[in-house]
């Protein structure tokens, strides 16, 4: 309210003071509106625009409590989307410090821990999110994924069951539960879940891919190929679908089609070690040892712990009569997986071919011991 006085000098002073006050009020109001606008942009935009808006809104100092926690959470989300999980965790930490009952901040931090491969911390955060808000299916779903990665398939399935109970129309929950059934070796239940995911979302290439893999495990190569065809139709750059369809063709004895699919997988993903490995197998079956060796070598370069690739290359060297290189590869395979009797068997055969009967007998004796142990 404007104040008046009989002194013109004082009046001017108060007038000046009122004007300064009005200017400050307008500036504060402008800053508040700007902060409000930034908060809206922070929560509605994405990428660098959202991150910058979140930062401005946080630094404006006009938000507190849950509203401030939200700004940290949304900025954490943007950091996570860029793969900057450490910053995401730091911002979620701050959101939780400001508002310890903010469930989604625990969920967001759990996602960041999961992306860093720390599934124990991820599970702890998802569990806290579930405790604070047991009505959100995503919290159960993501905890299920973390448990699945740890090999706790029954606990994962229990989480997916709850997610489905809360939202029976989310196809991802069925797809993920199907993965746990598949990993438990129950292909029939996996197929049932993948089929429901497909019914709910017929454009999900991943669900067709997963069901195709389950059909392949059951030995139904034709159904596997049909599902993988659909996955590729939906996503023509789905390298894993080409790779797995190649495996199905290989199982049917059609090495030409298998190689064509592995070619496509490698074209899309030039660092796809499994595709090189599998193409090496197909070349081996066609009797082309040189091409098989080249593919196995690339698979080993990309994945030096692939014992089967060393074994396959060793077999290719044996067929070419290069038993020294074959034995070197069998040695490498045994070093990685010392309990596979086939590695010793083929090394023993290579040693016998070199005339090294003493070591060949030792390898064959090892084969007998391993197989007897496995039988018991």
Report the first-to-last Cα separation within the chain, whole angstroms: 95
* Average pLDDT score over residue span 47-54: 94
Q: Which residue has the tokens 């740890």?
A: 150
Asked if the structure places residue 130 within a domain, the reply is yes
Query: For residue 48, what are the domain limits?
Result: 33-168
* Average pLDDT score over residue span 5-16: 31
Asked if the structure places residue 372 within a domain, the reply is no
Asked if the structure places residue 361 within a domain, the reply is no
Single out the residue of 141, 191, 146 nearest to residue 170, CA to CA.
Answer: 141
- pLDDT tens by residue, 184-226: 999 999 999 999 999 999 999 999 999 999 999 999 999 999 9
* Average pLDDT score over residue span 93-97: 97
Asked if the structure places residue 260 within a domain, the reply is no
Asked if the structure places residue 243 within a domain, the reply is no
Asked if the structure places residue 192 within a domain, the reply is no
Asked if the structure places residue 250 within a domain, the reply is no
> How many distinct structural domains can be found in the chain?
1
Q: Which two tokens stand for residue 339?
A: 């309990």
Q: Which two tokens stand for residue 175?
A: 């797809």
pLDDT averaged over the chain?
91
- pLDDT tens by residue, 155-188: 999 999 999 999 999 999 999 999 999 999 999 9
What three-state secondary structure class fits 121?
helix
- What's the DSSP call for residue 6? S
- pLDDT tens by residue, 285-317: 999 999 999 999 999 999 999 999 999 999 999
Q: 337 — phi, psi (to 5°)?
A: -135, 85
Say which CATH number the domain at 101 has.
1.25.40.10
Dihedral angle computed from the Cα positions of residues 181, 187, 190 and 195, in that order, rounded to the nearest 10 degrees: 180
- pLDDT tens by residue, 258-276: 999 999 999 999 999 999 9
- What is the predicted pLDDT for the residue at 33? 52
Number of Cβ atoms within 10 Å of the Cβ of 131: 12
- What's the DSSP call for residue 314? H
* Average pLDDT score over residue span 114-134: 98
- pLDDT tens by residue, 341-372: 999 999 999 999 999 999 999 999 999 999 99
Q: Which two tokens stand for residue 363?
A: 């390898």
Q: How far apart are CA 44 and CA 58, in angstroms?
A: 15
Q: How far apart are CA 136 and CA 125, in angstroms?
A: 14
Rounded to the nearest 5 percent, the helix, strand and coil shares of the chain are 80, 0, 20
Asked if the structure places residue 106 within a domain, the reply is yes
């Amino acid at each position: 309210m404007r104040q008046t006085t009989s002194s013109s000098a004082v009046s001017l002073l108060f007038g000046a003071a009122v004007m300064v006050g009005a200017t400050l009020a307008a500036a504060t109001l402008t800053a508040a509106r700007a902060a409000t606008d930034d908060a809206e942009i922070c929560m509605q935009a994405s990428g660098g625009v959202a991150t910058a808006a979140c930062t401005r809104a946080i630094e404006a100092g006009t938000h507190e409590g849950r509203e401030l926690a939200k700004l940290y959470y949304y900025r954490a989300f943007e950091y996570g989307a860029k793969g900057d999980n450490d910053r995401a965790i730091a911002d979620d930490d701050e959101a939780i410090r400001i508002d310890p009952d903010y469930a989604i901040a625990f969920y967001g931090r759990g996602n960041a821990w999961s992306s860093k491969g720390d599934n124990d911390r991820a599970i702890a955060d998802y569990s806290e999110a579930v405790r604070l808000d047991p009505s959100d299916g995503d919290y159960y779903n993501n905890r299920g994924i973390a448990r699945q990665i740890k090999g706790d398939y029954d606990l994962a399935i229990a989480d997916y069951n709850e997610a489905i109970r809360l939202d029976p129309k989310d196809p991802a929950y069925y797809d993920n539960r199907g993965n746990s059934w598949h990993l438990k070796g129950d292909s029939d239940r996996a197929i049932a879940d993948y089929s429901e995911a497909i019914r709910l979302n017929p454009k999900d290439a991943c669900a067709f891919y997963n069901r195709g893999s389950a059909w392949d495990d059951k030995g139904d190569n034709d159904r596997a190929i049909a599902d993988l065809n659909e996955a590729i139709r939906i996503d023509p750059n789905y390298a894993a679908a080409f790779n797995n369809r190649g495996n199905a063709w290989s199982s049917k004895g059609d090495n030409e089609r298998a190689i064509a699919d592995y070619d496509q997988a490698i074209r899309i993903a030039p660092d796809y070690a499994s595709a090189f490995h599998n193409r090496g197998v197909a070349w081996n079956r066609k009797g082309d040892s040189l091409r098989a060796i080249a593919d196995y070598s690339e698979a080993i370069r990309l994945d030096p712990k692939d014992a089967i690739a060393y074994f396959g290359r060793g077999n290719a060297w044996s067929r070419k009569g290069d038993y020294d290189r074959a034995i070197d590869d069998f040695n490498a395979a045994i070093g990685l997986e010392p309990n596979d009797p086939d590695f010793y068997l083929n090394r023993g055969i290579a040693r016998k071919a070199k005339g090294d009967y003493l070591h060949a007998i030792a390898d064959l004796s090892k084969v007998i011991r391993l197989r007897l142990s496995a039988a018991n």
